[in-house]
Amino acid sequence: MIRFPDRLILKNWRRGSKRSSHVELGRDGGAPPSLRSGVMNRRKFLFTMLASTVVAETVNPVTASAGAVYSRQRYLRPPGAVASDPFLARCIRCGQCAEVCPNESINYFGLGNGLAAMGTPYIIPREQACVLCMKCGEVCPTGALQSISRTRESILEKVRMGRARVDESLCLSFQGNTCGVCARACPLGKVALQVGYLEQPHVQAGCVGCGLCERICIQMPQAIRIIPNYA
Amino acid sequence: MNNAELIVSNKAVSELSKHRPLRRYLNKLRWLSLCLVFAMLIILPLLSVYQTYVASHGYRLLSPSGKHFYDVMQFFTSPFTDDPANSLDAVKGSTWSGNFFGFKISDPLAVLGQIAAAADIYPAFLITALTPILFSVLFGRFYCGWICPATLLYELNTNLAVWLQKLGFRPGHREFARYLKYFVLMVCLVVSALTGTVVVAVIYPPAIIGRELYYALALGGFGAGTVFFMLTLLFDILVARRGFCRYLCPGGALYSLLGRYRLLRIQRQVQQCNDCAKCNAVCEFGLNPMRDDFGQECNNCCACIAICPTDALIFSTRVTDISSQGAGHLGPKYRKLHLANTNNICDEDAKA
């Protein structure tokens, strides 16, 4: 995806238009319109475009190669999603995963994240987290979301949406007040999120990244976040 | 003698049109089918919203309009199910890919696009497209005429163009090469393979409509696909009648290829045809039924059958069109050609 630095182009554009109006006004005493400066302007403009394209293509290799933008916002794929590249290749954007989602967690990308990711499902845990009902994997026809049975063992084994991380400078419990709301929201219990002294949350290896802790966190901004796992 | 013959044939014609064989109503049946599919695409998102309401056990938290919606949906679904939150999952999806009581059906184009994008065949998904592939091999491009939700809107769009024409606006009637859509299909697959995403999903109108209706009814807002679809509608009005289906649709191209040697096709009975060319006028795909030019493009819409005054068009089980039947036997051209012959025969009859 090519993105032009808008400011540069606008600046050149403005300068060029000013000059031409300057010539038209005839302040130079009837001198012929300086064709040369116009050519230079055009050349500069083209060069800026070319340079910005080259920069955009080299600086951001993700956008240059896959066409999908992963960096603009933090989002999760629904549970059972395969790694990001096979996911984009497999997902046919049929929209059935959100149709069966009982929690309205799943939403779809528009054009904002690039044409390649358009119409693919995502979950923003702070808005509406996943309740691990596993209906989306069941209904997905393409294998972009793998079917996982709704048992504690298989969820712990196969779901890899991400991993929670606690910001101790924001977390109430780490600041000396007892909170523990995230641990109570966690559907997997001690294997995923264990509470210690003053109910301070400690993320364990079992965390699958459903995001219910982030959804429920009473701090604003949230003190616990899911770090997505796209691989 | 000639006049008498003509009168006889005209009588036969009028009797035929009184009789009205059932196949003349197939076009109406097709409209019913299109409307049902479209209604399904509207009802399923509403059901999904209702399911989330039920699952959340929050009737009292709903807004007044939400409560009203809940009541209406409950009224319609309660005869069929006690547990709407789970049992209504039985029917989901759109014509792009759907789930009907555990039987998953997908568009062959989705499978082809996925194969191109992933460079890999996922068997469980391939199986879901077998039924449509089989039906296309047997009936040709019937999906385009009988199921595709975009077809309904495109045909209404054609009617709109006719009304605009009455108001003095001139819709476009350009002709392009028919094979343009196969080129589009090829480009789509190549781009899918290069970018590693299923590009056809973004530009294939039925997929767009299924998705956008869901977005609009359940998620609250149209997406970019609607803009694209509006552009195709404009293309149909301004450039060519049904232009997108005829020249650009990658799905139509795939179905045409699958149905090239279809078993069931419309065929002209040359003995009954009077060369009135009404079939050519109503054919939205710009085919030439009067001279047996259906090819792989015909979408079995049956408009020509419905309008034919002599019921000369029938369904037959042939693998190819009968391409050189010539002028219809009831038409003026045929009569002019065979005038001498018939006169001779009549003379011989008179002698005998």
ipTM entry: 0.81
- Backbone φ/ψ region at A109: left (φ over 0), alpha (ψ -120 to 50), beta: beta
Contacting residues for B263 by C-beta, under 8 A, at least 6 apart: B137, B138, B139, B317, B318, B319
Q: Are A119 and B202 in contact (CB under 8 A)?
A: yes
Nearest to B211 among A89, A93, A103 (CB): A93
Report the C-alpha gap between B107 and B114 in whole angstroms.
11
What residue of A is the nearest CA neighbor of B52?
A102
- Least Cα separation, residue A143 to chain B (angstroms): 7
Instruction: List, for residues A68-94, the tens digit of each pLDDT value.
Output: 444 467 889 999 898 888 898 999 999
| Predicted pLDDT at A85 | 83
Q: Which two tokens stand for residue B60?
A: 């009292």
- Under the banding of pLDDT at 50, 70 and 90, the label for residue A17 is very low
Query: Contact A141/B99, CB-based, under 8 Å?
Result: yes
| Predicted pLDDT at B345 | 57
| Predicted pLDDT at A116 | 82
Query: Contact B118/A89, CB-based, under 8 Å?
Result: yes
Phi and psi at B310, nearest 5°, equal -110, 10
Residue tagged 């403005």 (tokens): A14
What residue of B is the nearest CA neighbor of A86?
B118
| Predicted pLDDT at B173 | 87
Q: Kindly list the domain boundaries of chain A, sorted by start residue.
A: 6-59, 84-228
- Under the banding of pLDDT at 50, 70 and 90, the label for residue A193 is very high
Q: Which residues of B touch A107 (CB under 8 A)?
A: 219
Residue tagged 């009541």 (tokens): B71
Report the C-alpha gap between B215 and B223 in whole angstroms.
7
Under-50 pLDDT residues of chain B: 1
Contacting residues for B94 by C-beta, under 8 A, at least 6 apart: A94, A95, B41, B44, B149, B206, B207, B209, B210, B211, B213, B214
Instruction: List, for residues B319-348, the tens digit of each pLDDT value.
Output: 888 887 888 888 888 888 877 666 655 555
Instruction: List, for residues B139-184, the tens digit of each pLDDT value.
Output: 989 999 999 999 999 999 999 999 999 999 888 888 899 899 999 9
Query: Contact A96/B197, CB-based, under 8 Å?
Result: no
Q: Are B51 and B89 in contact (CB under 8 A)?
A: yes
- Least Cα separation, residue B148 to chain A (angstroms): 15
* Mean pLDDT of all residues belonging to chain A: 77
Instruction: List, for residues A109-163, the tens digit of each pLDDT value.
Output: 888 777 788 889 999 999 999 999 999 999 999 989 999 999 999 999 999 999 9
Indicate which of A1, A69, A92 best probes the interface with B, i.e. most B CBs within 10 Å of its own CB: A92
- pTM value? 0.80
Q: Report the CATH architecture of B263-334.
A: 2-Layer Sandwich (3.30)
Q: Report the CATH architecture of A84-228.
A: 2-Layer Sandwich (3.30)
Phi and psi at B262, nearest 5°, equal -65, 155
What residue of B is the nearest CA neighbor of A88?
B197
Q: Kindly list the domain boundaries of chain B, sorted by start residue.
A: 89-262, 263-334
